Structure formats: structure tokens, C-alpha cells
Chains A and B, each alone.
Chain A
Amino acid sequence: MEVLGIWVAAFFTLCIYSFLYRDNPFYRFAEHLFVGLSVGYGIVFSIHQGLIPFAWDPFWEAITKREFMGLLKLIPIFIGLLFFARVVPKYSWLIRYPIAILIGIGAGRAIPNVMDARIFRQVYGTLTPFGQIHAGALGFFEIFGAILMLVGVICTLTYFFFSIEHRGAVGGISKVGIIFLMVGFGSAFGNTVMGRVSLLIQRVDFLLSDWLRLI
């Protein structure tokens, strides 16, 4: 089975790489099969890691052990089943109920979590070094880095602040913001390229060593 697996993986790897020449039947074959397998995988995982442990198991336990609190799981199951209303045009509006609940939960949880993790902690991380500077605990390069960080954050935020026209001092600050953004985008691009190249190396290594046994 292991050898067969290597041959199958090599076949599909070459099918996908054939797209570098141009769109062709091998690529389309692999592409469509990939979509089907991924959706099937998603279905199996959602059912086995969401529905069964959180809905079916407590519900079944409630019936067999007569713990009737478990029957409350029927409520979210019923709400979830309303997604199927989409296929009956007359009752398709019922789909708004589960969507509204999911969006409400998401929005409600987002406010405190985003505030904590993405605002307070980021501001804390930006300003903390200044306390250390005051205590004399940082060297020249750390102080320079801390000032650069604060300047970069303020300038980047100013660039995205559209309530004031970007002229004069604000225009100058937002231009400095563009410089920081460009360096940020450049490094993000560099990291992305290296990530993709690493994947390419890994696939070529698989073909040459695992499949062809050349290296």
C-alpha cells in the first residue's frame, strides 16, 4: 500500500505540475478530484468533530441514561436543520434564523476578544519598551527599535485615517506611513515567496527521492 501511495501521489503531483505547460486533461482530472475529496473531507470532519461529540453523543446519553438535560441539544440541532430550508423556496427565509444566531455569536465574541488580543496587547507591545527605557534597561539599538516601532505604528495608522485630508503635516506623516507599509508588504511578499519555494523543494524532493529514488 505504501508503494502504491507513493505512485499515486507522484502521479497527481505531475498532473498538477502539467499546468505549467498549459491547461490540459490531466490537470483538470486532478483539480476536479481534489475539489471532491476536499469537500468530502470537510463533511466527514464537521460531522465527526462537531455534530457527533457536541450534539449526537449528549443526546444519545440523555435517552439511554435518562439525563434529560441532554435533550436540550435538540434545540441547536433543530436550528441547524433550518439550513435545509434553503432547498424549499417557500420556506427559504427560515435559513435566516441559524445565520442570525451564528453571526450574533461571532459578533458578540469578536468585540471583547479583538479588543483584548488585537488592540490592547498590540498597544501594550508597542509602548512597553518605553517603560524599560525609563528604567535604563535598554541599549541604544533597542531604544532605536522602540522609537521606530512607535513612529511606524502612528504613521501607518495616519495613512489609514481618512477623516482628515492628507495635506501638510498629516500628508507628511502618511507618506512616512507608506514607507513603513512598503517595507512591511515587501517582507510579507518575501516570506510568501520563500514559503512557496519551500513547498516546491519539498515536492521535487518527494519526486526525486521517494518516487524515483535518485537522491
Chain B
Amino acid sequence: MRRQVPLILCFLFGIVMMLVEFSPHPISEGLRAEVIKWDLIIGPFALVIGVITLVHTHVIRVKRRVEHWQYSYLVFFGMIVMVAFGLPTGPKNEVFEWLFDNVQVPMEATMFSLLAFFIASASYRAFRARTLEATLLLVAALIVMIGNAPIGDVLWNELSPVGDNIPSTARQWILDNPNLSSRRGIILGVSLGVISQSIRIIFGIERSYLGGGD
């Protein structure tokens, strides 16, 4: 009951969803659409686990007065404010949109842009051309970066007598040929892994998602 029923459910839903993808019959298409809706209904409830874990973590931080515990109240404040304005009237609420546009989006963009500095220092350490492989990585990265920036083509056209827009052309060639071929190799390998793992899950060989205990 505790482990067998979930395994049977996983098997049934997995097999049905796999088979209906291949069948153009209206009943099968209707079934597929309905199960996808079930997925969209059940999915948001999974957020409950995340929210419970986050709240639990911060309640513990406050209770135990760990270092910087005061900031945990900001997590609760942010969450409550967004839910209070967004939940009753939906994401089109003026205050909800204002908070999203003027607080959340700028902070998110700034957090990601912060990585530019750390990537710069990391690349200094990583890009020492000690081996052939490291040199290739360095050269490919440099060509892509120079080709991406408009200044690359401008400088080349001003300074070099050979060809026009060579940096951006070289960048595009690298992206379309050696880069794409290695990505295809990786995609094919990963996809075969995904398929074999899915088969293992459907047939109950892989059952780590059930967790421990009875």
C-alpha cells in the first residue's frame, strides 16, 4: 500500500502517457490532454513542499537565533506581501506588478550581472594555456567574445587589410560547426540517458523518488 501503489500508479501513468503520444485517435488525444491537465493541477501543489521547507528553515533560524536571523523576517515579509496583493486579484494587480517590475526584476538582473565579475576572475585562473585542450578552450572563448561584441568587427575592419567582419564570421562558424557538433554529441548522450532512466522509473527499477522508510 505504501510503496506498491505508488509504483503501480507510476507505471500506469508512464505507460499510458507514452502510448497516447503515438496514437492520433480522438479518445487517446482526449486522454492525453486530460492527463496533462491533471499534471498542471497536481504540479502547483508540489510547490507546497518547497514553501514548507523554506518557511521551516527560516522559522528554525529565528528560533535558534543563528547569525543574521533577523533577515529571515524579510523572507516572510516578501512572500506575504506578494501573496497578499497577487492572490486575490491575480498577477495583473497594480502593486504586485509594481513590486515585480521595480524590485524583483532589477534584483534578479543585477544578481546575474554580478556573475560577470566572478566569471572574469575565474576565467583568469582557468584560461592559462598550459595544454592543447586549455588553449582550444581559450581561443574558442576569445573568438566568440570578440565576435559577439560590435567593437570586434569595427577594430578588425579598421586595422586589418584582410576581409570584412572576420571576428563575427569566425564566431558564427565556430558556433555552427565544432560547437554544434559537440553539443549534438552531448545531447544524443544525455537523451539516451533520459530514455533509459525513464524506462527504469516506469518499470519500478529506479525507485529512489519513493524515499526511505516503509
A68 interfacial by beta-carbon distance below 8 Å:
no
A156-B184 in contact (CB<8A): yes
Chain B, Cβ-Cβ closest to A150: B181
List B contacts of A151 (CB < 8 A): 181
Knowing A108-B16, A149-B180, A180-B182, the reply to whether A37 touches B133 (Cβ < 8 A) is: no
Which bucket holds chain A's interface residue count? 35 or more
Knowing A45-B91, A118-B191, the reply to whether A16 touches B111 (Cβ < 8 A) is: yes
List B contacts of A209 (CB < 8 A): none
B75-A46 in contact (CB<8A): no
Chain B, Cβ-Cβ closest to A206: B106
Knowing A93-B213, A193-B123, the reply to whether A100 touches B145 (Cβ < 8 A) is: no
A187-B17 in contact (CB<8A): no
A54-B138 in contact (CB<8A): no
CB distance from B2 to the nearest CB of A (A): 5
> Chain A contact residues: over half helix, strand or loop, or mixed?
helix
Q: Which stretch in A71-79, A131-139, A164-172 binds the other chain?
A: A71-79
Knowing A34-B108, A34-B111, A104-B202, the reply to whether A81 touches B210 (Cβ < 8 A) is: no
List B contacts of A16 (CB < 8 A): 107, 110-111, 114
A8-B144 in contact (CB<8A): no
CB distance from B59 to the nearest CB of A (A): 13
A108-B141 in contact (CB<8A): no
Knowing A37-B99, A96-B2, A187-B140, the reply to whether A194 touches B148 (Cβ < 8 A) is: yes
Give Cα distance in the complex from A101 to B209, angstroms.
11
List B contacts of A196 (CB < 8 A): 112-113, 115-116, 119
* B interface footprint on A182-197 (CB within 8 Å = 1, 0 otherwise): 1111111111111011
> Chain B contact residues: over half helix, strand or loop, or mixed?
helix
A-B interface pairs (CB < 8 A), number? 396
Which bucket holds chain B's interface residue count? 35 or more
B128 interfacial by beta-carbon distance below 8 Å:
no
Knowing A29-B71, A34-B107, A114-B195, the reply to whether A104 touches B181 (Cβ < 8 A) is: no
A214 interfacial by beta-carbon distance below 8 Å:
no
A184-B195 in contact (CB<8A): no
B27 interfacial by beta-carbon distance below 8 Å:
no
B141-A190 in contact (CB<8A): yes
List A contacts of B82 (CB < 8 A): 36-37, 39-41, 43-44
B80 interfacial by beta-carbon distance below 8 Å:
yes
Give the most central of A81, A110, A122, A192: most B CB within 10 Å: A110
B184-A104 in contact (CB<8A): no
* B interface footprint on A100-140 (CB within 8 Å = 1, 0 otherwise): 11111111111111110011001101100000000000000
A200 interfacial by beta-carbon distance below 8 Å:
yes
A87-B52 in contact (CB<8A): yes
A-B contact pairs, 14 of them (CB 8 A): A1-B98, A9-B102, A34-B104, A39-B51, A44-B83, A80-B41, A93-B2, A107-B10, A107-B198, A107-B199, A152-B184, A178-B133, A181-B182, A182-B134
Further pairs besides A29-B71, A104-B11, A108-B21: 7, Cβ < 8 Å: A5-B98, A34-B107, A41-B104, A50-B44, A123-B188, A156-B182, A187-B178
